[in-house]
Amino acid sequence: MNIEKTRKELRLRRKQLTSDDRESASLKIAKILVSSGILSDSKNIATYLQNDGEVDPIYISKDYVFKSCKFYIPIINDQNKRTLKFGEYDQNQQFEKNKYGINEPINPSLVSIDLLDAVLFPLVGFDRNGNRIGMGGGFYDKTFEFVATKKKNKLKLIGLGFSIQETSNIPNRAWDLPLQYIVTEKEFICVEQK
pLDDT in tens, 69-104: 999 999 998 666 788 999 999 888 899 998 888 999
Q: Which domain holds residue 141?
A: 3-167+183-190
State residue 81's pLDDT score.
72
In a domain, 68, yes or no: yes
Which CATH number belongs to the domain containing residue 62 in this structure?
A: 3.40.50.10420
Q: Which helix (H) or strand (E) holds 20?
A: helix 19-36
Question: For residues 162 and 16, is the Cβ–Cβ distance under 8 A?
Answer: no
Note if the pTM is more than 0.85.
Answer: yes
In a domain, 175, yes or no: no
* pLDDT tens-place string over residues 6-57: 999 999 999 999 999 999 999 999 999 999 999 999 999 999 999 999 999 9
Query: Per the structure, how many domains does the chain have?
Result: 1
Compute CA distances 100 → 49, 79, 82, 146, whole Å: 13, 11, 13, 25
